[in-house]
């Protein structure tokens, strides 16, 4: 048996299988041949296969993230497609959706093809680029949406920008409906957030910082719901942080409106009180909200109003973040810590099952994109993670694979860690 043939066969022994698609939670062995799962192929296979003793570990479908800023082309001093996908693999992700607000922005087929070329050359996992809704993400003129789809854009987004012109947004949704594309929208009424740097509330008053009202989110969530209902287009609402927005989405779903929504690990676990020390690693867009909002987000996830978790990985280098809170850029990294944060705060503290967490971080994002959800099923590509749900570990500044270090978790302990990530049976991360 040749070495390459041995590598094509994998026997994962004694693992706890957690599969949200098939609703499976059981201990058994897993077999992989030529990148796909196979049923027990017998003694001869086991004798020639690479064997991994996974006793005490969980094996689950790998994760998918719907909102990642990989910064390339343009700001490669903050992140690149190579380093960003390495960070994603370390965090358990084998599929990520990259936002189009690069430099130059991904608002035409030529720039999209450039990104595809870099992905093919440098990415260690699957990367799905989005195309801009408007030219330059400026919110003034529609981008060539049909050409972007033909060039391979999986969805439409203006990245961290929200189209303020509702007529323009309506036309974008009409085109998206015709092309059967989902629109990913960052909901923010900018007329209410000029020079705002944190949530408007008790803490903004105490700290003397300009407040960012939750109503800025609520208004645009309402607008998108109305336009989705009018056009029949699929709208995915990014970075939901407001408890009131959860209520708006719930009423929309009760009427059958085609909206889905996500929440980030940091908004599920942190609040505006974290800003008390004026540390810019807690400055993000949208901002951290109140404890009441945080509880409503968790309730929204558990009730199915919010569909999934996405990390909004937004790298910034240390020089950019190391300045007064008012002037530091918004954004935090999250790919390498997302799963640990969610396990710590939702599984260990809230008692939410692992199978439900994997639904939010794997199969639900896949369905929103229109991709076949990953599962532990014969004949399906072997995209999986091995993780220890009980491992305690400290987030260290020098432990990231990402170029940037703007993490709110540095110095904190998390419980639950990815040990290895596999894409089509090939190890892309092993820690």
The Cβ of residue 225 has, within 10 Å, a number of other Cβ atoms equal to: 23
- H-state helical runs in 97-242: 109-122, 145-150, 166-179, 202-207, 215-231
Cis peptide before 73 (omega within 30 of 0): yes
Question: Quick check: 50 and 11 in contact, CB under 8 A?
Answer: yes
- Which of the following is catalytic: 189, 307, 312, 320? 312
For the record, the structure tokens of 337 come out as: 């810590």
Q: 272 catalytic, yes or no? A: no
Q: What is the dihedral of CA 60, 66, 370, 115, to 10 degrees?
A: -110
Residue 102 to residues 67, 99, 159, Cα–Cα distance (Å): 13, 8, 9
How many whole angstroms from its chain centre is CA 301?
15
Residue 214, C-beta contacts closer than 8 angstroms, at least 6 positions apart: 199, 200, 241, 242, 243, 244, 245, 289, 293
Cβ neighbors of 2 (< 8 A, separation 6 or more) are none
Please state, in angstroms and rounded to a whole number, the distance separating the CA atoms of residues 292 and 313: 24
Q: Which residues contact 367 (CB under 8 A, 6 or more apart)?
A: 373
* Bridge partner list, 26: 17
Instruction: Catalogue the active-site residues.
Output: 312
């Amino acid at each position: 048996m040749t070495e390459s043939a041995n590598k094509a066969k994998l026997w994962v022994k004694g693992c706890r299988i957690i599969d949200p698609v098939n609703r499976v939670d059981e201990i058994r062995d897993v077999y992989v041949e030529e990148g796909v799962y196979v049923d027990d192929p017998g003694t001869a296979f086991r004798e020639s296969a690479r064997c991994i003793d996974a006793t005490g570990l969980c094996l689950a479908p790998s994760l998918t993230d719907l909102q990642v800023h990989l910064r390339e082309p343009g700001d490669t001093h903050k992140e690149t497609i190579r380093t960003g996908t390495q960070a994603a693999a370390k965090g358990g992700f084998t599929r990520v959706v990259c936002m189009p607000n690069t430099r130059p922005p991904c608002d035409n087929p030529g720039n999209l093809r450039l990104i595809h070329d870099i992905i093919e050359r440098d990415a260690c996992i699957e990367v799905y680029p989005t195309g801009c809704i408007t030219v330059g993400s400026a919110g003034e003129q529609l981008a060539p949406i049909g050409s972007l789809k033909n060039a391979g854009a999986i969805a439409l987004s203006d990245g961290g920008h929200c189209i303020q012109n509702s007529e323009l947004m309506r036309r974008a949704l009409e085109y998206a409906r015709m092309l059967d594309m989902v629109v990913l929208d960052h909901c923010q009424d900018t007329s209410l957030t000029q020079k705002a740097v944190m949530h408007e509330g008790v803490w903004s008053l105490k700290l003397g910082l300009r407040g960012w009202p939750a109503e800025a989110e609520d208004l645009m969530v309402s607008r998108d719901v109305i336009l989705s209902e009018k056009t029949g287009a699929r709208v995915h609402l990014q970075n939901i942080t407001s408890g009131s927005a959860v209520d708006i989405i719930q009423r929309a779903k009760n009427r059958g409106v085609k909206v889905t929504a996500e929440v980030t690990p940091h908004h599920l676990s942190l609040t505006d009180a974290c800003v008390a020390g004026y540390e810019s690693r807690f400055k993000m867009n949208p901002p951290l909200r109140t404890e009441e909002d945080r509880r409503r987000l968790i309730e929204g996830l558990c009730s199915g109003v919010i569909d999934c978790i996405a990390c909004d990985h937004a790298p910034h280098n240390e020089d950019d973040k190391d300045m007064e809170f008012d002037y530091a850029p918004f954004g935090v990294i999250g790919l390498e810590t997302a799963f640990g944060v969610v396990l710590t705060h939702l599984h260990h503290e809230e008692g939410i099952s692992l199978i439900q967490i994997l639904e939010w971080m794997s199969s639900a994002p896949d369905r929103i994109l229109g991709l076949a959800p990953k599962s532990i099923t014969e004949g399906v590509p072997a995209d999986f993670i091995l993780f220890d749900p009980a491992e305690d570990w400290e987030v260290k500044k020098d432990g990231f694979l990402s170029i940037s270090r703007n993490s709110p978790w540095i110095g904190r302990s998390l419980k639950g860690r990815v040990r290895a990530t596999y894409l089509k049976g090939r190890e892309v991360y092993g820690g």
